[in-house]
Structure 1
């Protein structure tokens, strides 16, 4: 077989392109992660593209190439990390067979998400959006998506048996909104979240509505 001149050992033309795409993906990931860290540490007002650039260890042009707008970068960063974290919550392989223990595990896992950096970064954006209309409009569709992902993740944590209970949607939404409110108090009082007194209350409400009420015949 005769090899055409100049083609012997020629590199696959797709390889450089794939390598460039991977470098671009990794650079973008570094920027997104850095943006969340800076926003969590310094707050919205003091989070600049320069600070994010230094934190990420990328060039000015590299950052602007991926994210020309600071607010779009912040929105993308927070929701990228939140989606990644929340989506992975339901992938746990082993869960307690006992429904009471399953509820406790689900509650503990849900509560742990409210001490993550992306939660506090989200809070910074929510507060800033009150007086920044462009930021509010950029946040809304992302928050609607996050809401559906959080609910789906909670369903996976509680499992099909508990999440099919008629009272489950009320329990789920009550726990989510209550956890969000309690978590905000940690902005002022730096306590150990694993010992929060509300944990037992959330467990009691969920157990009563999903198990005890049904067993006592008090549900319609």
Structure 2
């Protein structure tokens, strides 16, 4: 073994200055998931294969299949990871808002900031693909249902200052999410930045005005 090769191998030996195998495996798994999210958002579900993810992540197919037996297993892991991608900045913006007006502004502004992001498009790709793929649906559905339940609980608590019944609060969230998905798809299909900007401003005004009038 050459000196260079030996040094490279020893990088990953615990206690020799490298990462423990468990941590290396965790990072590889996370790399695969995040690469899968980017591929879904940029290339769509049909073009996101195990091979394309391996190439994009610059890893061999061996580590890929070590962590995920097939594409549906990877898509399930992605579905589980999507709602966990809330950044520290988003958390700070949400927790800093205390009054109802501040919370309404925080929610709609953050949602609009994120609605053209990779995580939003990845979720859309998975949901649309699962409509005609029972095996994919079975793989991702439990994770989407779990995240929806968690978000509903958070939403009803965060906007409890509206004084609305729980079912109305949840319906309000579902309408907002549907509008955001529609805006994202429209932007993708139409590609008209000016029209999209106008639609965003109008939706933001509608969201805030409706909440204020009903509180």
TM class by smaller structure: 0.7 to 0.9
Post-superposition offset of 1:144 = 0.4
Post-superposition offset of 1:160 = 5.0
Q: Provide the secondary structure at the position in 2 that maps to 1:46.
A: coil
Instruction: Give the number of aligned pairs.
Output: 196
Q: Name the structure 1 match of 2:6.
A: none
Q: Name the structure 2 match of 1:121.
A: 122
Post-superposition offset of 1:78 = 3.9
Q: Which runs of 5+ in 1 are unaligned?
A: 1-13, 211-220
- Contact 1:53 1:63 survives alignment (8 Å): yes
Post-superposition offset of 1:93 = 6.5
- Contact 1:79 1:142 survives alignment (8 Å): yes
Superposed CA deviations along residues 105-134 of structure 1, whole A, max 9, x for unmatched, are 221112333222121112222222122110
Q: Provide the secondary structure at the position in 1 that maps to 2:20.
A: helix
TM-score by length of 2: 0.76
Larger Rg: 1
- Contact 2:79 2:123 survives alignment (8 Å): yes
Q: Name the structure 1 match of 2:7.
A: none
Q: Name the structure 2 match of 1:33.
A: 34
Q: Name the structure 2 match of 1:42.
A: 43
* Structure 1 residues 77-156: aligned runs within 5 Å: 77-85=78-86, 89-92=90-93, 95-155=96-156
Q: Name the structure 1 match of 2:186.
A: 185
Change (3 A) 1:187 1:23: same
Q: Provide the secondary structure at the position in 1 that maps to 2:132.
A: coil
- Contact 2:41 2:118 survives alignment (8 Å): yes
Q: Name the structure 1 match of 2:214.
A: 209
Post-superposition offset of 1:96 = 4.3
- Contact 2:155 2:170 survives alignment (8 Å): no
CA RMSD of aligned residues (A): 3.0
**Alpha-carbon distance in structure 1 between the residues aligned to 2:117 and 2:172:** 23
Change (3 A) 1:93 1:135: closer
Answer with 126-135 or 186-195: which moved more.
186-195
Answer with 112-121 or 98-107: which moved more.
98-107
**Alpha-carbon distance in structure 1 between the residues aligned to 2:88 and 2:50:** 28
Post-superposition offset of 1:87 = 9.5
**Alpha-carbon distance in structure 2 between the residues aligned to 1:137 and 1:53:** 24
- Contact 1:90 1:153 survives alignment (8 Å): no
Change (3 A) 1:55 1:151: same
Q: Which runs of 5+ in 2 are unaligned?
A: 1-13
Superposed CA deviations along residues 68-126 of structure 1, whole A, max 9, x for unmatched, are 11122123124313322289844536534553243122211123332221211122222
